[in-house]
Amino acid sequence: MTPDELRRHGHAVVDWVADYLARVGEMPVRSTVAPGEVRAALPPHPPAHPEPFDDVMADVESIILPGITHWQSPDFFAYFPANSSGPSILGELLSAGLGVQGMMWATSPACTELETHVLDWMVELLGLPERFRSTGAGGGVIEDSASSATLCAVLAARHRAGGAERLTDLVGYASAEAHSSVQKAFTVAGLRDDQLRIVDVDDTMAMRPDHLRSLVAEDLVAGRRPFFVCTTVGTTSTMAIDPVRAVAEAVADSGIWVHVDAAMAGAAGVVPELRWVNDGLELVDSWCFDPHKWLFTNFDCDCLFVADRAALVGALSILPEYLRNAASDAGEVIDYRDWQVPLGRRFRALKLWFVIRHYGAEGLRHHVARHVELARGLADRLSSDPRFELAAPVDLNLVCFRGIKGDEATERIMAAVNDSGRALLSHTRVAGRFVIRASVGQTTTEAGNVDALWALLDAVADGKAIAPRRLEAPRTISGASS
């Protein structure tokens, strides 16, 4: 494809994306395709010859689009907001266009330096402790996801505790409310299931520091080596907030690496009134949050900060001859390949830079504060309605609730909303009971969307039928198109 063809087709794709974002609010949020339906519409064999670009885009519309669950819909309240925004999309486009490898400073200096710079900006934007700045012993790095950030934290902690040689003695801690990626990180790192100890939670589903302290004491007596604790600020299930300060104080001087998974809630720090989410961070070893969850940046963009980058680099650095270069040898630059598991990396800082400059601190604050206000408004409606009850405190942007008639009725409420295509919710279980989650944080979600969700809940709770939202054009999945 020549540059001029790229220009022409690129304008068409930009127009398609702009149109998509303009009309996504009219589409059924959840895809209704059955398993295998998308594949059945694709040709069984790859094309022998080049195909016109316009044909490909026609298939995007007719085959791919019906198979999309619209995470960018303003009526998407399921799972977590997969944030995106115009500047982020264009930052990703620019990154693809430049096509640089950022594995080392030497392979494209701007890729490394913009990342370091923007992550130092982030310390200021979120009100994080100074120890996370690159100008001291710490620093930040963009990982693909909080899963990977947690894995890196586990690996750094394992390294500090003696590495593979000490592996069988190590024991780490998290509550049962911690994200599944903690268990997965332990498994990946070669730890047995019994090496992750589950700390009790209190009524708000937050970790109990006193129980952690007693587990650690027990493990020390048994000759095990406590090495890592994962606290969560904003659990996936209910947005519970572990008491980071108390946890860090409970294990102070033990050498235990304290990691904080603030994947969603960390973004709240852009609002000064919500900076209680940062309480205790000056005592921890690592902290991460996902701009791709609640800061208008498309996946993948997780920011991991460490207080001591030497432990992280020590755990992950391997330098083969074919990557040696003067700048790295002189130790005067950052090579982010040593801050992550894979070697290669895209220029992801561009999209984050674009987002920060497009919104400014003011714009980020405005949108995050608005989401919290909308969530609290929904919580007020639910808690004051006798048909519903809240299942967890609503401190930020997640509303957990259930119908008062029990699990099956609550499941039916969620199913009715989701089947309507007019909104999408997801679920969890709290103390064994089925709970609906409404996560308010999609970039374009406005008061009207939350009002409409409430109207839906109001109707389905009374068993009223809801006219489903339909695709504007007839679905055209109908066999191979090319």
The interface with its own copies within residues 123-142 (CB under 8 A) comprises 124-125
Q: Which is nearer to its own copies, 60 or 409 (CB)?
A: 60
- The candidate with the shortest Cα–Cα distance to 37, out of 83, 68, 72, is 68
- Answer yes or no whether residue 18 interacts with its own copies by CB under 8 A: yes
Question: Does residue 476 touch its own copies according to CB under 8 A?
Answer: no
- Which three-class secondary structure state does DSSP give residue 424? strand
User: What order of strands is seen across the sheet that includes strand 388-390?
Assistant: 388-390, 398-403, 433-439, 426-430
Task: Tell me which residues in 269-298 interact with its own copies (CB under 8 A).
Answer: 292, 298
Binding to its own copies by residue 320, rule CB under 8 A? Answer: yes
Taking the complex as a whole, the smallest distance from the CB of residue 45 to its own copies amounts, in Å, to 6
Q: Binding of its own copies at residue 420 (CB under 8 A)? A: no
Q: Which long-range contacts (CB under 8 A, 24 or more apart) does 403-409 make?
A: 403/461, 407/433, 407/434
- In the list 322, 386, 431, 465, the residue contacting its own copies (rule: CB under 8 A) is 322
Residue 27, classified by CB atoms within 10 Å of its CB into exposed (0-12), middle (13-18) or buried (19+), is buried
Residue 226 φ/ψ, nearest 5 degrees: -60, 125
Of 8, 147, 29, the closest CA to residue 453 belongs to 29
Closest by Cα among 111, 163, 161 to 141 = 111
Check binding of 481 to its own copies (CB under 8 A): no
* Span interacting with its own copies, options 198-206, 242-250, 281-289, 336-344, rule CB under 8 A: 336-344
Looking at beta carbons only, is 165 or 273 nearer to its own copies?
A: 165
- Residue for token pair 């709970």: 435
Q: Which residues 56-95 are close enough to bind its own copies by CB under 8 A? A: 56, 60, 63-72, 79, 82, 84-90, 92-94
Residues 179 and 236 sit within 8 Å (Cβ to Cβ): yes
The CB-of-108 to its own copies minimum distance in angstroms stands at 5
Residue 107 CB, shortest distance to its own copies, in Å, is 6
Q: Is residue 233 within a helix (H) or strand (E), and if so which, with residue range?
A: none
Nearer to its own copies, 28 or 280 (CB): 28
Per CB under 8 A, 439 contacts its own copies: no
**Secondary structure, 3-state, 296-339:** CCCCCCEEEEECCHHHHHHHHCCCCHHHCCHHHHCCCCCCHHHH
CB of 133 to its own copies, least distance (A): 11
Q: In sequence order, what are the residues at sequence separation of 6 or more whose Cβ sits closer than 8 angstroms to the Cβ of residue 320?
A: none
221 versus 318: smaller Cβ distance to its own copies: 318
Using CB under 8 A, pick the residue from 321, 386, 467, 474 that binds its own copies: 321
Q: Does 393 bind its own copies (CB under 8 A)?
A: no
Question: Which residues from 131-190 bind its own copies, rule CB under 8 A?
Answer: 144-145, 147-148, 151, 155, 158, 163-165, 167-168, 179-181, 183-184, 187-190
Of 18-26, 213-221, 446-454, 467-475, the segment contacting its own copies by CB under 8 A is 18-26
Residues 194-223 that bind its own copies (CB under 8 A): 195
44-63 binders of its own copies (CB under 8 A): 45-51, 53, 55-56, 60, 63
Q: Is the Cβ of residue 193 or residue 253 nearer to its own copies in the bound state? A: 193
DSSP state of 469: P
* Residue 418 within binding range of its own copies, rule CB under 8 A: no
C-alpha distances in angstroms, 362 versus 86, 175, 304, 349, 368?
17, 35, 23, 20, 10
Is 22 one of the binding residues for its own copies (CB under 8 A)?
yes
Which of 152, 209, 160, 200 lies closest to 177, judged by CA?
Answer: 200
Asked whether position 464 contacts its own copies by CB under 8 A, the answer is no
Verify binding: residue 323, its own copies, rule CB under 8 A. yes
Q: Which stretch binds its own copies (CB under 8 A): 275-283, 360-368, 376-384, 451-459?
A: 360-368
Residue closer to its own copies by CB (options 21, 207) is 21
DSSP 350: H
Residue 7: count other Cβ atoms within 10 Å of its Cβ: 11
**Considering the rule CB under 8 A, would residue 97 count as an interface residue with its own copies?**
yes
How many CA atoms, within 13 angstroms, populate the side-chain half-sphere of residue 417?
28
Instruction: Report residue 366 as tokens.
Output: 């405005």
CB of 3 to its own copies, least distance (A): 4
Size of site (CB under 8 A) for its own copies: 147
When binding is defined by CB under 8 A, the residue of 213, 245, 387, 427 that contacts its own copies is 427
